[in-house]
Chain A
Amino acid sequence: MKIMRTIRLALKNIRSNKLRSALTMLGLIIGISSVIVLVGIGTGATTNITSEVASLGTDILTVSVNTDQGLTLDEVSELSELSGIKQAAPFANVSATVSKGASTGSMLSVLGVDGNYLDVRNYTLSAGREISFIDLDNQSKVCIIGADVSQDLFNNENPVDQTIKIGGDNYTVIGTLTEQGSSMGTNADSMVLMPVTTAQSLAGSGDIKSLYVQTENEDAVNFTQLATENYLKTTLDASSDEISVTTQQSMLDTMSSVQDTLILLLAGIASISLLVGGIGVMNVMLVSVTERTKEIGIRKSLGARKSNILVQFLIEALILCLLGGITGILLGLGVGSAAELLGYTFTYSLNIVGIAFGFAAVIGLVFGIFPAYRASCLNPIEALRMD
């Protein structure tokens, strides 16, 4: 018996029971589409973070100290002299109201940095100059503003050499950053950078508690990590708990393990919902076999073999599941695109679509085989006697 005819026959039967077929598929549609959406948004979110971590460069160590007294600027430069370390970029985060002229202004993140910071973070200037040693020594009231801040305060004017108010004092804008986008939870575009010494006097504290350390050699990053830890422990008399020196690689590892767990979790939820959908398919196929006992009897009397009947019902279950699978995939991609419009990152790979499709097929086979087998085993004499 030709497979195309069996498929056409199955489609005919599915069509003749539209509502029932649609309801049966609904379980699978919901299962498959939720897999696509959840995995898509989940991987989207983690890929975002992962690419941010990676964009920082794997030669960077992130240092934060949690002791009462942080590092002094002298100690930071002493640290940067250690072998294997290319440069250290301390930063101090304060918040302050930023305004221009008589406008009300808004609370922005103000970062005290030194001359190395832009280089370490790979930030570039669209206009003006970087923060110099003289600015640091003099605690100059100068600042570099992010692209969004520049747009908000100066519209399309050139902000360089203009004056803005930060926390009540006048600061001269010496440069603007090119657009950076959001990264690692901070958005450089809506930030104001100033000399770290100036920021310390603004915040009333002279300690450095966080810094980036760039290593000379990417391969020696673990050695540098140890050296940095040792330096911090002796200099600050700190315990291991009070300091943290993390490599980007270890953050990447953490991210990928988070991603793995997430996907495992989603796969778990998905298999449960697909299992439920599959049981629905089996249920409907069993009802269908009972309803069509007479048909099976007639077909057997006309010469259908067991295998003909088995294949007929199996293909019907398979098509039902594949139709549900395809609808589910399309719905999932649709919902994912809608979520993207709402600001979520939604990534889908052909892998996931393929796996979802394969899953639908497997469910069709696994849950279709029992009803199909029952149909094929019906005794033709008894089946013919049914009304």
Chain B
Amino acid sequence: MIEMKNVSKTYMIGDTEVKALDQIHFQIGKGEFVAIVGPSGSGKSTLMNMLGCLDVPDEGEYFLDGIDINNSSDNDLAQIRNTKIGFVFQNFNLLSKLNALENVEVPMMYKGVSAGESKRLASAYLERVGLQDRGKHTPKELSGGQQQRVAIARALSCEPQIILADEPTGALDQKTGREIICLLKELNAQGQTIILITHDNNIAQQANRQICIIDGQISEEPRL
């Protein structure tokens, strides 16, 4: 499903060239639960932007579901993010003016789902993450764990091929963090492909496979 072929990415910081990703090469299949682990500054954020089609490689090739990302237009990338990828961020990134239900509806709005249908689906996804009675609450009125659940419901709303979770427990206490990981595992058990990006080895252990990134290169893989 995901195929990274010798992908490199270089940034200019001032006058110095920084190689954020260096010849990254891996594949992820359908239904996998993969953790991408690495310390901060290892290039895993860049990798996650790349996987999420927010960025394109300088060198190498990236195929997502058979689509060549290098040769896709801005609009194609937007559509891929919309329908094939569900983002879950460290700090939730919910829209503060919208309530939980409306937040879940946003990707469906861009997909072109009708208002009535997206409302119905949004309720269903909120129910799936256990927040059926919180639909009218704005993010401010929800706890961190609840906000992350809303974000997961939002990520699920367009039935993506991949859930891309970037430090999803980073802003949560341990207990809540465990609950979120449990929820992700549950989703994976139902067949959802999940990629988890984290610096925390304990959390990475929860996944079925780890890809370890250090200094922009893959250091050990696989380790089952």
Which residues in A have some Cβ–Cβ distance to B below 8 Å? 1-2, 4-5, 12-13, 16, 294-295, 297-308, 380-381, 384
Cα–Cα, bound, A294→B158 (Å): 22
- Check A299 against B75 for contact (C-beta < 8 Å): no
Q: Are B54 and A305 in contact (CB under 8 A)?
A: no
B82: nearest residue on chain A (CB-CB)? A303
Q: A4-B115, A301-B81 are in contact. List 18 more A-B contacts (CB 8 A).
A: A1-B109, A2-B114, A5-B115, A16-B97, A294-B93, A298-B93, A299-B106, A299-B110, A300-B78, A302-B87, A302-B154, A303-B78, A303-B81, A303-B107, A304-B78, A304-B82, A305-B79, A381-B49
CA distance A207 to B9 in the complex (A): 103
- Chain B residues closer than 8 Å to A299, beta-carbon distance: 95, 106, 110
B86 nearest CB across to chain A (Å)? 9
Partner-A contacts on B (CB < 8 A)? 49, 52, 54-55, 74-75, 78-79, 81-83, 87, 89, 93-95, 97, 106-107, 109-112, 114-115, 154, 158
Other-chain residue from B75, B114, B115, B158 in contact with A306 (beta carbon distance below 8 A): B75
Are A305 and B74 in contact, CB atoms less than 8 angstroms apart? yes
A-B interface pairs (CB < 8 A), number: 66
A303 and B95 alpha carbons, distance in the complex (Å) = 14
CA distance A301 to B95 in the complex (A): 12
Q: A380-B54, A381-B49, A381-B55 are in contact. Are A303 and B93 (CB under 8 A)?
A: no
Q: Which residue of A lies closest to B97 (CB)?
A: A16
For the complex, what is the distance from the CA of A12 to the CA of B97, rounded to whole Å? Answer: 8
Q: B80 to chain A: closest CB distance in Å?
A: 8
Chain A residues within an 8 Å CB radius of B54? 300-301, 380-381, 384
Partner of A5, one of B83, B109, B111: B109
Q: Which residue of A lies closest to B154 (CB)?
A: A302
CB distance from A112 to the nearest CB of B (A): 79
Contact status B110-A305, CB under 8 Å: yes
Asked if B81 and A302 sit within 8 Å, CB to CB, the answer is yes
Q: A301-B52, A303-B158 are in contact. Are A308 and B95 (CB under 8 A)?
A: no
B112, A302: Cβ atoms under 8 Å?
A: no
B74 touching A298, Cβ below 8 Å: no
Q: Smallest CB–CB gap between A16 and chain B, Å?
A: 6
- Whether the pair A303, B55 counts as a contact (CB closer than 8 A) is no
A to B CB contacts below 8 Å, 23 in the list: A2-B109, A5-B109, A13-B97, A16-B97, A298-B94, A300-B54, A300-B78, A300-B81, A301-B54, A301-B87, A302-B82, A302-B106, A302-B107, A302-B110, A302-B154, A303-B79, A303-B81, A303-B83, A303-B158, A305-B74, A305-B75, A306-B78, A384-B93
B95 A295 Cβ-Cβ under 8 A:
yes
Distance of A297 Cα from B91 Cα, bound (Å): 13
Which residues of chain B have C-beta atoms less than 8 A from A384's C-beta? 54, 89, 93
A1, A12, A380: which contacts B112 (Cβ < 8 A)? A1
In the bound complex, how far is the Cα of B110 from the Cα of A306, in angstroms? Answer: 11
> B107: which A residues are within 8 A, CB to CB?
302-303
Closest to B96 in A: A295
Listed residue (A2, A5, A12, A303) with the most chain B CB atoms within 10 angstroms of its CB: A303
Report chain B residues within 8 Å CB of A380. 54
- The answer to whether A305 and B78 have CB atoms under 8 Å apart is yes
A305 to chain B, nearest CB (A): 4
Chain B: CB-nearest residue to A305: B78
What's the nearest-Cβ distance from chain A to residue B116, in Å?
Answer: 11
Task: Enumerate chain A residues within 8 angstroms of B154, measured Cβ to Cβ.
Answer: 302
Please judge, given known A-B contacts A380-B54, A381-B54, whether A303 and B110 are in contact too, CB under 8 Å: yes
Q: Which residues of B contact A304 (CB under 8 A)?
A: 78, 82, 110
B78 cross-chain contacts in A, Cβ below 8 A? 300, 303-306, 308
Kindly report which residue of chain B lies nearest to residue A299, judged by CB atoms.
Answer: B106
In the bound assembly, the distance between CA atoms of A294 and B139 in angstroms comes to 15
Q: What residues of chain A lie closer than 8 Å to B87, measured between beta carbons?
A: 301-302
Q: Which of B95, B97, B109, B111 has the most CB of A within 10 A?
A: B109
The chain A residue sitting closest to B166, CB to CB, is: A384
CA distance A302 to B158 in the complex (A): 10
Taken together as a complex, chains A and B put the C-alpha atoms of A1 and B158 apart, in Å, by 14
Interchain CA distance A12-B54 in the complex, whole Å: 28
Given the complex, which residues of A lie within 8 Å of B55, measured CB to CB?
381
Docked CA distance A308–B54 (Å):
16
Residues from chain A with a CB closer than 8 A to the CB of B82 are 302-304
